[in-house]
Structure 1
Amino acid sequence: MKITLFSIITGLKIAVVFLFIVIWPGPFNLFPYLINEYVWSAGIEESAFVKIFDITSAIVLFWIVYILVRRFLKKIINQQQNG
């Protein structure tokens, strides 16, 4: 339970910091603008697409960090119990 909670908190911290960094216009937002121009040139607004892209990136980052931290902590605890 503690491992899962710590993994969720760590993932949320990193994802929120990432989201606050990329939500403002900057170099990271050039990539979604290029995707929007290439794929949906006459479709969704650029600003809406960039926000959706940023939020989706933050969610993916959360899951990656959550899985990595959880596996790492479980491995450390198993090594301490066995060794």
Structure 2
Amino acid sequence: MRRKIQLSTLSVGRCFTEVKEPGGASEDSKEGITRQAPILAADDAWKVVGEADQGVACQNARGVSKTFPEDAEVVEIPRQGFDRLVERG
């Protein structure tokens, strides 16, 4: 499992996802097992694009822009994974 870091430590071009509480598991009634989605959604993958007046300017893999506070806790993800999500659209 990757560790949490402050968003302000990431330079332009680095990618991340927000820290989320564990959950989202669903039961498969046929098998009686619990599964979790292993793939990061494009809406949840972000890239640092620059500084903003009130934080860090970022863009997700769908092209949506958002400003996050500098002290936000995030988990860095590989740039290649972000780029694949962009390609999938």
TM-score (norm: length of structure 1): 0.32
Give the structure with the larger helix fraction: 1
Q: Which has the higher contact order (CA 8 A, sep 6+)?
A: 1
Tell me which structure has the larger Cα radius of gyration: 1
TM-score (norm: length of structure 2): 0.30
Give the structure with the larger strand fraction: 2
